[in-house]
Structure 1
Amino acid sequence: MNRNIAAMLCLSAFGLSACGKGADSIVSRSEAEALQSGEAVTVTATTAPAGAYVEPASTPVTVTTQTQSAGAMLTGGGQSVAALDTTSAEEKAAATAPATGGGRLGTTVASLGDATEGGFWIKTPLVSAPAKGRVVNPANGKSVNLDLQPLSGGGAGSQISLAAMQTLGVSITDLPEVEVWQN
């Protein structure tokens, strides 16, 4: 019996959090269905600290939701990857110019950084001060000249610009292992 009650409470918490209101908010089934369908709906929700009792709100709140595909969220609210890439033709030419020399700093796993931040850059724990360098994708041999920036907050991986990922021939959802070189 107690096991059944615990399972029902757990499922209720998951159900409420799936409505986007959080595990400590309460909405009716019709309100939840309206929210999920994207309609504008009047919702009376109660949010309370765990274990506290709160009287229901006397004034309803109107909530409008928007639905967005995962692809639209990934590409910046409906913008295409090409629309987010604001680098000029001159910048792209400079980034792909052959480069030699310098010292190899190491390898790192790179993920897409802030897609709205233009230019060619990598934020990495492999440098402690800004510098010029390049990144090589050993999987296909492509390389890109870019700005090396220290990664604030530490971490083991690196963040790379959208333009640099495209030049390296890497999908924005990939986590490639790249070589980092300093000029």
Structure 2
Amino acid sequence: MSAPLTRIALCLPVLAIAACSNLTSKTPESPPRTEAATVTTEGATASTATTAAVPRPTARTAAELNTTTQQQRTAAASAPATQQQKLGNTVASLGDPTQPGFWVKTPLVSAEADGRIVNPANGKSAKVRLIPLAGPASGGSQVSLPALQLIGVSLTDLPTIEVYRG
């Protein structure tokens, strides 16, 4: 082997070891940092305002992205206090997981309103904010991560759910 190639061949293991030691010397990541945010809509009453923490930008897991409290989850799972109007069924998919709170973006509404979604497969439901989504009424809907978890849906499933207003 020529002298330059020998030098390169001897340097490669040293560089590889240096790169590996750099990976292990990192300090553990600090716990997720969240910031409080109040999500309200124009004309919303105190009962429709949702206060939730915004996940930090580096959140990677569903647990880090779901910043709702146990109290918020309990309130969202409670039985409806008033009569509700069924708007229809829709195929649900995971919406923006960094958007906090319980909501569904659906073409079944033309204006924001309080509502509920129900998973007919298990009967679980969640109080949500209904947000208009452009498209035909037969189009699918985007559901918040906490709402999907509350109704017992896997984040990768595309279940058909029932949507109610009121």
Partner of 1:31: none
Letter in 1 for 2:112: P
Whether the 8 Å contact between 2:59 and 2:65 is mirrored in structure 1 is no
- Aligned structure 1 segments of 4 or more residues deviating by more than 3 angstroms: none
Partner of 2:148: 165
- Choose which of 86, 103, 110 in structure 1 pairs with 2:67: 86
Matches of 2:151 and 2:106 in 1, distance apart?
Answer: 17
Q: How much identity, in percent, do the aligned residues show?
A: 54
Matches of 2:59 and 2:109 in 1, distance apart?
Answer: 34
Normalising by structure 1, report the TM-score.
0.56
Give deviations 1:41-81, integer Å, cap 9, x for gaps: xxxxxxxxxxxxxxxxxxxxxxxxxxxxxxxxxxx977211
CA RMSD after TM alignment: 1.5
1:1-183 alignment, distance < 5 Å: 79-99=60-80, 101-151=83-133, 153-155=134-136, 156-183=139-166
CA 1:77–1:174: 2 relative to 1, 3 Å: farther
Matches of 2:130 and 2:71 in 1, distance apart?
Answer: 19
Unaligned runs of 5+ in 1: 1-75
Give deviations 1:97-127, integer Å, cap 9, x for gaps: 1115211000000100000001000000000
Matches of 2:59 and 2:165 in 1, distance apart?
Answer: 36
Letter in 2 for 1:81: A
Deviation at 1:172, TM superposition (A): 0.4
Normalising by structure 2, report the TM-score.
0.61
Matches of 2:112 and 2:132 in 1, distance apart?
Answer: 6
The structure whose RCO (Cα within 8 Å, separation 6+) is larger is 2
Deviation at 1:90, TM superposition (A): 2.1
**1:172 partner SS:** coil
Letter in 1 for 2:157: D
Deviation at 1:166, TM superposition (A): 0.2
Matches of 2:68 and 2:95 in 1, distance apart?
Answer: 15
